[in-house]
Structure 1
Amino acid sequence: MPWTELRITTDSKHAEALSDALFDLGALSVSIEDAAAGTAEEKPIFGEPGEPVDQMWDRSIVVVHLADDMDAALTVTAAANAAGIAAPAFETVTVEEQDWVRLTQAQFEPIPISERLWITPTWHEAPDPEAINIALDPGLAFGTGSHPTTRLCLQWLDRNIQPGETVLDYGCGSGILAIAARKVGAGITHGVDIDPQAMVASRQNAEQNAVEIAFFLPDDAPEGEYDVVVANILTNPLKALAPMLASRVRTGGRIALSGILAEQAEEIREIYGAWFDFAPAAAEDGWVCLSGRKHG
């Protein structure tokens, strides 16, 4: 049976109320996205320790799936009435019934990171059995190697990790960067994320790849410095976390930062320049990875 997908743009004040009303009216699913995703205005709706939490984006898109026999206009109007707002404009897309598991698998092919490093889903044979293959499937947490920011960090780790170096992956998501670091020769490696689901995903992925990594929520993470710190998160958290991340890198150690749009790179370089001497940035599709060495 086909579904009807609605995309409703609204403000932060009414997104959740509209979502709740749509569920009550029988929507098959409802999610809320950042209307500014992929732009310089994109922002997280979570906070780091000691930082205030933004509860919703300034402008949100409510994505709704309706059964084919539900009238989209009437449903949106009824939900708006229940939420106490005027009926908003919306876009409509018909989503045909599909085998979503097979479709997802077909869309996630092995990803070459470098000549020796691949990200390979578990349902595929490794394209190069002699290469370093990270077995990873789409799951609960961000990070499969398909996004430029993740690839840039993976490539940096592949080129720069020295045998036995200690590594901290801050904002570890799926654990992919920590796993890659271990696979290319790192020693003690830790991952930190504020999302409990990331802990679940990271630990499962590390076990699947037969590497030993300890993952922590921020308040549980051990103190101490590392040879390498990598953080693939968004620009605003990178700015807020600069003193803390810098403190986790030993003198002479290195940091790699990504999740940064090209136009934001200079600001990040300037902030972290208080602690690090930066190499030229690596870039892909408008995103950059900044890497530097901590000076004394």
Structure 2
Amino acid sequence: MGWKVLKIRLSEEAPAELLSELSFELSSLGAWEEGREVSLFFVPSVDLPSRARWAVSFLEERGLGVLEVETSEEEARDWIREVREGFCPVEVGPFLVVPPWHDGPFEGGLLPIRIKPGCAFGTGLHGSTQAALKLLPRAFEAVRPRRALEVGV
């Protein structure tokens, strides 16, 4: 299932909160705002031309200029797969921070640390994660415990 998209570009006079109100009034499933432009997403069964006409009337009644209205259809996308493709392994000291779905191979003798993005520090890019991982080998030089537990706060 794809999506129908109504894209509206507003004049500078239009208040930003109006875009949210418009999305609500049109019962869109979601909205993407970028500057003075809003893209509203609808199920394929929606009569998009009538929604577009209603949106223009709604804005004109408020004395606001509509610079452009565009309708289109988007194919369904595998958003989970696309988001996952955006997470690459991150090398930090002797470690390689990887998401759980990354199977390797892990080259160069790096020790993989699996962290689910969105949990804890997620991607390994956060400064405190990198600092802790860089200090970890030094902490284990004097003492080599069989097990270790990291407790985040």
Q: Which of 1 and 2 has higher RCO (CA within 8 Å, sep 6+)?
A: 2
Q: What's the secondary structure of 1:184's corresponding residue?
A: helix
Residue 178 (str. 1) matches residue 128 (str. 2): yes
The CA distance in 2 between the partners of 1:90 and 1:121, in whole Å, is 40
Letter in 2 for 1:82: F
- Could you tell me whether the CA contact under 8 Å between 2:6 and 2:69 is conserved in 1? yes
Q: What's the secondary structure of 2:36's corresponding residue?
A: strand
- Residue of structure 1 aligned with 2:80, choices 72, 89, 101: 101
Distance 1:63 1:211, change over 3 A: farther
Residue 72 (str. 1) matches residue 48 (str. 2): yes
- In structure 2, the partner of 1:16 is 17
RMSD: 3.6
The CA distance in 1 between the partners of 2:13 and 2:99, in whole Å, is 37
Distance 1:112 1:87, change over 3 A: same
Distance 1:80 1:135, change over 3 A: farther
- Could you tell me whether the CA contact under 8 Å between 1:121 and 1:135 is conserved in 2? yes
Distance 1:60 1:138, change over 3 A: farther
CA positional deviation for 1:77: 3.3
The CA distance in 2 between the partners of 1:8 and 1:144, in whole Å, is 35
- Could you tell me whether the CA contact under 8 Å between 1:77 and 1:87 is conserved in 2? no
With normalisation by structure 2, the TM-score equals 0.61
- Could you tell me whether the CA contact under 8 Å between 1:23 and 1:29 is conserved in 2? no
CA positional deviation for 1:73: 4.0
- Could you tell me whether the CA contact under 8 Å between 1:134 and 1:180 is conserved in 2? no
CA positional deviation for 1:93: 4.2
CA positional deviation for 1:74: 3.1
- Residue of structure 1 aligned with 2:110, choices 111, 115, 131: 131
Q: What's the secondary structure of 1:78's corresponding residue?
A: helix
- In structure 2, the partner of 1:121 is 99
The CA distance in 1 between the partners of 2:51 and 2:8, in whole Å, is 12
The CA distance in 1 between the partners of 2:13 and 2:91, in whole Å, is 38
- In structure 1, the partner of 2:37 is 61
CA positional deviation for 1:183: 0.9
The CA distance in 1 between the partners of 2:22 and 2:46, in whole Å, is 15
The CA distance in 2 between the partners of 1:101 and 1:9, in whole Å, is 29
Give matches, 1:137-286, under 5 Å.
137-139=116-118, 144=123, 176-185=126-135, 211-212=150-151, 214=153
With normalisation by structure 1, the TM-score equals 0.36
Q: What's the secondary structure of 1:182's corresponding residue?
A: helix
The CA distance in 2 between the partners of 1:65 and 1:32, in whole Å, is 12
Letter in 1 for 2:18: A
- In structure 1, the partner of 2:142 is none
The CA distance in 2 between the partners of 1:9 and 1:137, in whole Å, is 37
Letter in 1 for 2:40: V
- In structure 2, the partner of 1:30 is 31
- In structure 2, the partner of 1:111 is 89
Distance 1:75 1:15, change over 3 A: farther
Distance 1:178 1:112, change over 3 A: closer
Q: Which has the larger radius of gyration?
A: 2
- Could you tell me whether the CA contact under 8 Å between 2:92 and 2:133 is conserved in 1? no
- Could you tell me whether the CA contact under 8 Å between 2:98 and 2:123 is conserved in 1? no
The CA distance in 2 between the partners of 1:68 and 1:89, in whole Å, is 22
